[in-house]
Amino acid sequence: MSATMLSAPSPFPPIADYGFLSNCHTGALVAPDGAIDWLCVPRFDSPSVFGTLLDREAGAFRFAPFGINVPTARIYEPGTNSLMTTWRSGSGWGIVRDCLTLGPRRHGDLVTPHTRPPADDDAEHLLVRVAVCLDGEIEIELTVHALELELAVVEVATPYYARPEGSESKLSTWRDGFRILLKIVSLYRSERPLAFFTAVGVALAFVSIGLEFSLKGLREAGWRPIALFASATVVNIVVALGLAAVLFGSFTLG
């Protein structure tokens, strides 16, 4: 190993910079940028759901302001294992609270069966992340990278309240929707390259078939010279390569 490699800074945060959450059954490590880089569920010896601590492609769960990676402050709420992270953006202040919850034991634990005194609180097997805006407006980004795990998704109804007078939304339906769509396609391309490029190839094949039928119509309408030129192999190759380049470039930029 060269001296340059030894002196190069690590891309991973120092272990001392992580916040630690626990419910006595498992533990989560929260990076300074608001991402959970390590979590095994439901027990410490279970497979990891998020493992960016060891591998950048092993999944993470970020819940923090968009475009801001350094918090203003991080403390544990006194007397608890609840982590409080304060964020400041150009438009406001906010706090994110993270915890693996404990609560009164109402019945036997069906997730991790064990023996425990009935009067003790026990794990609820819930990771809770709550954002509170203290002043102004703050845009929170929620990113879950665990595509390979095929985790179950449940939608929970959330009450929405009227926007404070004088404030305006930073969201754009078309622009942000298009960005989300590009991000989904980009993630699918990186996680399922074979299926992605197979789908692109099939789509281009249907496009070429459609062009062939269109050119056939031109030939039957008396535009035979133009149809013969357009159906030449070199033109088909250029069209296919052009479409592939546009798709690849747009997905890469997205």
What one-character-per-residue DSSP string does the chain give? --HHHHHSPPSSPPGGG-EEEE-SS-EEEE-TTSEEEEEESSSTTSPEEE-TTT-TTS-EEEEEETT--S-SEEEEPTTSS-EEEEEE-SSEEEEEEEEEEEEE--S--SSS-----TTSEEEEEEEEEEEEEEEE---EEEEEE-GGG------------PPPTT------HHHHHHHHHHHHHHHHHHH-HHHHHHHHHHHHHHHHHHHHHHHHHHHHTT-HHHHHHHTSHHHHHHHHHHHHHHHHHHHHH-
If one compares 66 and 207, the residue with the highest pLDDT of the two is 66
Whether residue 7 is predicted with pLDDT greater than 70 in this model: the reply is: no
pLDDT in tens, 155-180: 777 676 666 676 666 666 777 788 88
- Mean pLDDT estimate for the chain: 75
Among 44-48, 94-98, 120-124, where is mean pLDDT lowest?
A: 120-124
pLDDT in tens, 24-45: 888 999 999 899 999 988 888 8
The band of 115, judged by pLDDT with boundaries at 50, 70 and 90, is low
The band of 92, judged by pLDDT with boundaries at 50, 70 and 90, is confident
The residue-averaged pLDDT of 114-133 equals 77
Whether residue 96 is predicted with pLDDT greater than 90 in this model: the reply is: yes
pTM: 0.57
Question: What is residue 114's predicted lDDT score, i.e. its pLDDT?
Answer: 63
The band of 139, judged by pLDDT with boundaries at 50, 70 and 90, is confident
If one compares 251 and 16, the residue with the highest pLDDT of the two is 16
Question: What is residue 253's predicted lDDT score, i.e. its pLDDT?
Answer: 46
Whether residue 1 is predicted with pLDDT greater than 80 in this model: the reply is: no
pLDDT in tens, 183-230: 788 877 777 788 887 887 777 777 777 766 666 665 566 555 555 555
pLDDT in tens, 75-87: 999 888 899 999 9
Question: What is residue 186's predicted lDDT score, i.e. its pLDDT?
Answer: 80
The band of 231, judged by pLDDT with boundaries at 50, 70 and 90, is low
The residue-averaged pLDDT of 232-247 equals 58
